[in-house]
Structure formats: structure tokens, C-alpha cells
Amino acid sequence: MVLHTDDLSTTEYISRVRKAVHGLGMYYHVITFGCQQNEADSERIRGMAESMGYLPSPTHEGCDLIIVNTCAIREHAEMKALSFLGAFKAEKKKNPNLIVGVVGCMAAEPHVADKLKRDFHYVSFTSEPNMLHRIPELIWTVMCERKRSFIFGEDRGDIVEGMPTVRRDRHKAWVSIMYGCNNFCSYCIVPYVRGRERSRESQAVLEECRELISAGVKEITLLGQNVNSYHSDIDFPELLSRIAALQGDFLIRFMTSHPKDTSDKLIEVMGSHKDKIAPYFHLPLQSGSNRILSRMNRTYTRERFLSIVEKLRAAVPGISLSTDVIVGFPGESEGDFEDTLEVLRIARFDMVYGFIYSQREGTRAAAFEDKVADSVKSERLTRLLKMQDEISLSANTPYLGRVLRVLVDSFEERDGIKVYTGRADTGKPVHFTGDGQLYEYVNVRIEKTGAFDLIGTTV
Ligand code: 5AD
Ligand code: SF4
């Protein structure tokens, strides 16, 4: 069901807290772990915090409200968030009225939710990722009823429109178009913590894009755990072509796609809107062995995956491709790993994000018995990344001497000279000197290439 913050109690609680906080000069700080969806969610959290009258602070120190937006994808992300939380114990001692909230994917895992409740007494509230619109209510409960408050297992699969948003950038914006995942890849915690797939209505998405473009946003990234399985009144390729048809000077990106939903229609739409859809595709492979892909429940073969790569390159010449790979999935033999390396050699990705398999409680793979030793996992990841570095380096060499359009993100002064950083349409990071202008497009001639970035001067 699509709900609006005005129909929910969100708006009511925002104004209640606002009255309580009014004139007290209270500060908030949001800490974000994990993926772009979490970044986008944190922009909503900031939106609510500022609507409630809290002032932004660049650090958690001295704040009255600290919200940690967590990630559960790998054990490492969880450990980082939990050790970070430890620092707030002392803050709470200094300021007993401090409100600490833990939200996002970790707060939706039963064993973590229990731990936060039991062992982290200075955590005032928790909320799973799809219930963030209830943060104002949680804060009200903590502040006025002096009760710790926890939201767990209450996600009913609704979509909430109309959340206030404070965006990090003014030239780039995230637009979430779908939430959740139905794929249940056997290693992945996401479907358990973010629930079933739900897509926003196309009119709401188009309206948000229209507003962003007229506010001067140059790059819109459509987000979804499984972005290309978007389906409301229209499907994802249709949505892309309708956004591409909007008036203005902007580029569309999207992530993360699943190979199974990368249809010929989607590839065709990318080919016919090259002026508006970025020549970039993130297509997670995970493994190049059909046996492992099947155990991962990925529902495609290496052959089907490679045929998508071929079609993308044919439809969008010069397209930049990236992928995710997991090494050391249970049962992965040396032969299976070699199969992965072989697919990487054939596909020649511009960029590979390699991960060591991390066991997630509650997933199917957690029960698989044939675990791979840690030392083997690390050794495989090192080998993979070393091989990929050479591929990435040679994929960037043809850029030498070419002039690329770059959207400028930032600059820093080095020896009195401004060195700008931005991204080419392909998404490649570009560092350059010359006449840059922050948040605008400039043309840069590439003079040096590395495995990860390009270096040049404006023309
Ligand atoms: N262990 C390691 N990597 C994982 N990913 C997802 N779940 C796990 C896990 N349990 C990786 C996948 C996914 C990326 C976002 O994180 O490669 O595409
Ligand atoms: Fe996880 Fe697979 Fe869903 Fe991606 S598609 S979020 S890897 S279950």
C-alpha cells in the first residue's frame, strides 16, 4: 500500500517534537554505513531531524540526537558499527538526555535487535529500514515518556511517500524507485532485513525527477536492491525511457541490477537514449562457476551472463561495466574459482568489487557444510584483484588523449593549484587541473591513466 507521511502519524510527531525542541538549540548527527540505499535513507533521516527542529552537526560530539544507520551485508560492516556505537556510552554519561538511535539493516536482524536491547542500554531506540518514517514517534516516546523504544517485525510492505529530505549534494541525487528483494540469493541477508519487493508508482518517481531537474540536479541515480525488477504500472525499461524523455540537461544512472532482469528491452532502451542514460552498467556476477551460481540461487549461467555483457557492449559502444564477485562461497573449489577468473578475463570489466564470503545468520548458505578456509579465501581474493588490476589498467588506456565530459564533485588545493575531482559519463573518477567549476560539466583531456582513475587538464 502507498501511504503518505500526512496520513501516518509522522507529520503529527514531527510537530510534537518540534514544539519540545523549539529554542533549545539541539544538534543531531547521522552516521551511515553501507550501500547507496542507506545513503538515500539517511537523507530522509536528516530531513526528519531538521523538520523536528534539530540543527546539523558535523560530528557526534556534543549532540543531543545521534542516529546510526547500519549495514548487515557482511560481518565486517556489523563489527564496525557495533564498535562505533561503543563511543556513545561516554557521550551518554556526559549528556543523560542524549538520544541514540540505531536503524537500518542490523536493527532488523533478530539476534542483533536482541543484543542492542539487552547489552546497549544507552541505545534509546531502534528501527528496521522500512520503518524509518516512525523515527519522530520513537524520539517522542524516548523524550517525553522516558521509554526506550524498538521497532522490529512491523514492516507490512508499504511504501511511504512524502518524507522530508535533506540531500547531501545539489548536483547529484538518489531516487529510490523500489525497495526490498525477492531473490533470496543463498548467501544474502538483504531479503530478510529489507523485506519483499515493492515499487513506487511511476508518477511519483517522474514527479521527483522533474523537481530535481528543475532544481538544477545534473545526475539522477535510480536506486533499488534489485532496481531493474522495478514493476508498478510500467516496467523498468519503460520508466527509464519516460525519465529520459524529460526536458533538461541531466544523466540517469541506476543500481543495482540483477542479470535475470536485464532484458533485451532494457538494453535497447539504453542504446536509444545515449544522451540521457549513462554508458555504465553494474552487473553483479558473484561467481563464474555454474555449479556455484546454482548453489547461490542466482538463476543464470555464466553463458547467459556473458551474452548480456556482449549485448550491452553492442548496444552502447564504449560502455563501462563493473561487477561484484564473492570468493570462498561454501563448496568453491580451485576449479570453480578458476572459472570465475576466466569469466572476468572474457568480460573485461572496467571495475570489479571483490568480496570474501561472509556467513550471515539465517541465510540458506549458513547451513552449507563445505566451508572454505579463511586463508584460501584471502589468497583467492588477492589473486583475483591482482589479475583485475591489469585488466582495469588496460581498459583505461584507450582513454589517453580523449576529451571527456566530467561532472565536477570537489577540489583540493595542492601547492596552490586547484586539483578537481569529478566523474565522466561512464562513472570513471577523473582528477584534473585547469578551469574547473564545482558541480558543473567541464571537458577534460585525459593525459594519464591508472587502473582506477584518469588524470587530465580542462580544454
Ligand atoms: N558475503 C560476502 N559478500 C556478500 N555480498 C552480499 N552478501 C554477501 C555475503 N554474505 C556482496 C555481493 C553483493 C554485494 C553488494 O555484496 O557481491 O552484490
Ligand atoms: Fe541480495 Fe541477491 Fe537480493 Fe542482491 S539480488 S539483494 S545479492 S538476495
Asked if residues 447 and 399 have their Cβ atoms less than 8 Å apart, the reply is: no
High-pLDDT (> 70) share of the chain, %? 100
Q: Within its chain, how far is the Cα of 292 from the centroid?
A: 25
282-330 pLDDT, tens digit each: 999 999 999 999 999 999 999 999 999 999 999 999 999 999 999 999 9
CA distances (Å), origin 221, targets 170, 173, 218, 427, 439: 13, 6, 10, 11, 16
Residue entry with cell 523500489: 178
The CATH class that applies to domain 400-458 reads: mainly beta
Pick the CATH number of 169-271 from 3.40.50.2000, 3.40.50.150, 3.30.830.10, 3.30.750.210: 3.30.750.210
Ligand 2: atom nearest CA of 258 is: 5
Fold: same for 169-271 and 279-399: yes
Q: CA dihedral defined by 255, 261, 264, 265, rounded to 10 degrees? A: -70
Asked if residues 127 and 134 have their Cβ atoms less than 8 Å apart, the reply is: yes
97-134 pLDDT, tens digit each: 999 999 999 999 999 999 999 999 999 999 999 999 99
Domain 2-150, CATH: 3.40.50.12160
**What would the grid cell of residue 207 be?**
514527479
Tell me the mean pLDDT in the region 237-255. 97
Q: What is the whole-number distance in angstroms between the Cα of residue 355 and the centre of ligand 1?
A: 7
Q: What is the whole-number distance in angstroms between the Cα of residue 50 and the centre of ligand 1?
A: 33
Asked if residues 98 and 68 have their Cβ atoms less than 8 Å apart, the reply is: no
174-195 pLDDT, tens digit each: 999 999 999 999 999 999 999 9
Residue entry with cell 507529520: 11
**What would the grid cell of residue 208 be?**
521527483
Q: Is the pLDDT of residue 5 over 90?
A: no
Ramachandran quadrant class, 297 (left: phi over 0; alpha: psi -120 to 50; beta: rest): left
Asked if residues 383 and 371 have their Cβ atoms less than 8 Å apart, the reply is: no
Relative orientation angle of helices 36-51 and 135-145, to the nearest 10 degrees: 50
Residues 328, 337: Cα–Cα separation, whole Å: 8
Q: Nearest 5°: phi and psi at 196? A: -75, 160
Asked if residues 449 and 396 have their Cβ atoms less than 8 Å apart, the reply is: yes
Q: Is the pLDDT of residue 3 over 90?
A: no
Relative orientation angle of helices 236-244 and 202-214, to the nearest 10 degrees: 30
DSSP per-residue letters across 268-322: HHHHHTTTTB-SEEE---B-S-HHHHHHTT----HHHHHHHHHHHHHHSTT-EEE
**What would the grid cell of residue 4 be?**
503518505
Per-residue confidence at 4, pLDDT binned at 50, 70, 90?
A: confident
Relative orientation angle of helices 264-272 and 302-315, to the nearest 10 degrees: 20
Ramachandran quadrant class, 53 (left: phi over 0; alpha: psi -120 to 50; beta: rest): left
- Ligand 1, pocket residues at CB < 6 Å: 73-74, 187-188, 284, 286, 324, 326, 355, 357-358, 360
Domain extents for the chain? 2-150, 169-271, 279-399, 400-458
To the question of domain 279-399 being in CATH 3.40.50.80, the answer is no
Instruction: Report the first-to-last Cα separation within the chain, whole angstroms.
Output: 51
- What is residue 363's predicted lDDT score, i.e. its pLDDT? 98
Q: Is the pLDDT of residue 8 over 80?
A: no
Per-residue confidence at 7, pLDDT binned at 50, 70, 90?
A: confident
Q: Classify burial at 447, counting beta carbons within 10 Å of its beta carbon; exposed 0-12, middle 13-18, buried 19 or more.
A: middle
Per-residue confidence at 1, pLDDT binned at 50, 70, 90?
A: confident
pTM of the model: 0.96
Give the residue, by CA position, lying nearest to ligand 2 atom 5.
183
Tell me the mean pLDDT in the region 209-237. 97
Per-residue confidence at 451, pLDDT binned at 50, 70, 90?
A: very high
Residues 291, 292, 296, 298: is their CA dihedral positive or negative? negative
Q: What is the whole-number distance in angstroms between the Cα of residue 342 and the centre of ligand 1?
A: 20
Residues 128, 104: Cα–Cα separation, whole Å: 5
Name the helix (H) or strand (E) containing 413: strand 403-414
Per-residue confidence at 196, pLDDT binned at 50, 70, 90?
A: very high
Q: Is the pLDDT of residue 6 over 80?
A: no
> Cβ of 416: how many Cβ atoms within 10 Å?
5
Ligand 1: atom nearest CA of 358 is: 1
Contacts of 159 (CB under 8 A, 6+ apart): 1, 2, 3, 179, 198, 199, 200
Write the DSSP symbol of residue 367: G
* Collapsed DSSP state (helix, strand, coil) of residue 56: strand
Pocket test for ligand 1, best of 285, 323, 326 (most atoms within 8 A of CB): 326
Ligand 1: atom nearest CA of 363 is: 10
41-99 pLDDT, tens digit each: 999 999 999 999 999 999 999 999 999 999 999 999 999 999 989 989 999 999 999 99
389-408 pLDDT, tens digit each: 999 999 999 999 999 999 99
**What would the grid cell of residue 27 be?**
544538534
